[in-house]
Amino acid sequence: MQYLAETPPPSCRLSKQSLIGLRREIAAIRRSLKRGVSIHQTAVKTQKEERVISKAILLKCRELAAKAIPDLLSLLENGPNQKNQWQFYGHFAALLSALYGHRGGVFQNITMQEVLGAQRSVSEKAYLINVTSHKTNQYFGPAQIALTEEEWGWVQRFLSIKDKLPGGTNPKYLFFTSTPNPCKNLNNYFQDAWKSMGLPGCPTFTDVRSSIASHARFTHSTEDRLKISKFMCHDLRTADKFYVVNLSAQQAMEHRRLFESALEGAERSPSKQSPKKRKRPSKSEKSRKKRCQRPLDESPKSTTSEELVLQLQESGTSSLEGTESERTAGEDGH
């Protein structure tokens, strides 16, 4: 409606006033829906609580995946086949997802050029891969994946045998298939690897991402959370709104103890001071103030000759007689 109001087509017969009225009506309808949308979001958030993966399971996933990857590479070296290739994909993606919580699209879009151009840190003994193509690259730039020397060695072992696999002669992506396209079934391979490691549930990359964001909120400070959020390539407000779940019963009791401790100990809040009572002035004081007070804008009035005559008549003396007698007395004196 905003676009239509700003650039109406030639066939539009609505006046500018009508378009403004329509926009205001739609805005009012949207405001009435906000409460229902918020309730729906809360219900969805509550359902997400059931899919939150605990810290212990995520740690176990990393340990089991790191243990299984060398064996899978050995199977690929002895007999290259796509079944072992998919298992390697699933376990390696599970390891990276449990570490960084990236979206599945980040892992799918890792190119061979980005892998070969990884930055090496001699002091940290690590390799950094910058993945350019992902969902929020226009806001956060490339998504980053840091690998240890051991994990980088696994990548090099896989690259050494890629030519023996279908589509591995000149692949574009790290997780390549027999077609030039990225691996669209990487989430399924991740779930198969999750099941083969004996872990409970059947999570997705999004579930792992939501779980890591939730654990980061209750574990790290705001500054560290901001670092994690940027590395995961999503806004901190988005994480609080969609990824982070409500408090558990244990966490709620911890907050309850904070409220209880706020009422313990000596009084620190400023005490309430009683206001001073104003003394009412007596009637004599009021009348004295009225006599003493004079309006600032009141100027002394000049009396006219007629008013002067009236005042003198009231006092029993005529102004003309007074002036004439004064003149006679003056002449006799001379």
Which residue segments constitute the domains of the chain, with CATH numbers given? 55-247 (1.10.443)
DSSP state of 173: B
334 neighbors 327 (Cβ within 8 angstroms): no
Alpha-carbon gap, residue 71 to 174, rounded angstroms: 19
Instruction: Decide if 31 contacts 23 (C-beta within 8 A).
Output: no
271-297 per-position pLDDT tens digit: 555 556 666 666 666 666 666 555 544
Look up the pTM and report it: 0.67
pLDDT digits (tens, 9 = 90+) for 154-188: 999 999 999 999 998 899 999 999 988 899 999 99
Q: Residue 97's CB: how many other CB atoms inside 10 A?
A: 30
DSSP three-state, residue 330: helix
HEC sequence for 111-138: EHHHHHCCEEECCCCEEEEEECCCCCHH
Inter-residue long-range contacts of 150-158, CB under 8 Å, 24+ positions, other chains counted: 151/95, 152/118, 152/126, 152/127, 154/69, 154/70, 154/73, 154/92, 155/115, 157/73, 157/77, 158/73, 158/76, 158/88
Our CA angle for 137, 138, 140, nearest 5°, is 60
Number of other residues whose CB lies within 10 A of the CB of residue 206: 17
In 3D space, the residue among 324, 305, 95 whose CA is nearest the CA of residue 208 turns out to be 95
- What is the residue-level pLDDT of the chain in tens, covering all 334 positions? 888 888 888 898 888 889 889 999 999 998 888 888 888 877 777 777 778 899 999 999 999 999 999 999 999 999 899 999 999 999 999 999 999 999 999 999 999 999 999 999 988 889 999 999 998 888 888 999 999 999 999 999 999 999 999 998 899 999 999 988 899 999 999 999 999 999 999 999 999 988 888 888 778 887 887 888 888 887 777 666 666 556 667 767 877 887 878 778 777 766 555 556 666 666 666 666 666 555 544 444 555 555 555 555 555 544 444 444 444 444 444 4
The answer to whether the beta carbons of residues 143 and 102 sit under 8 Å apart is yes
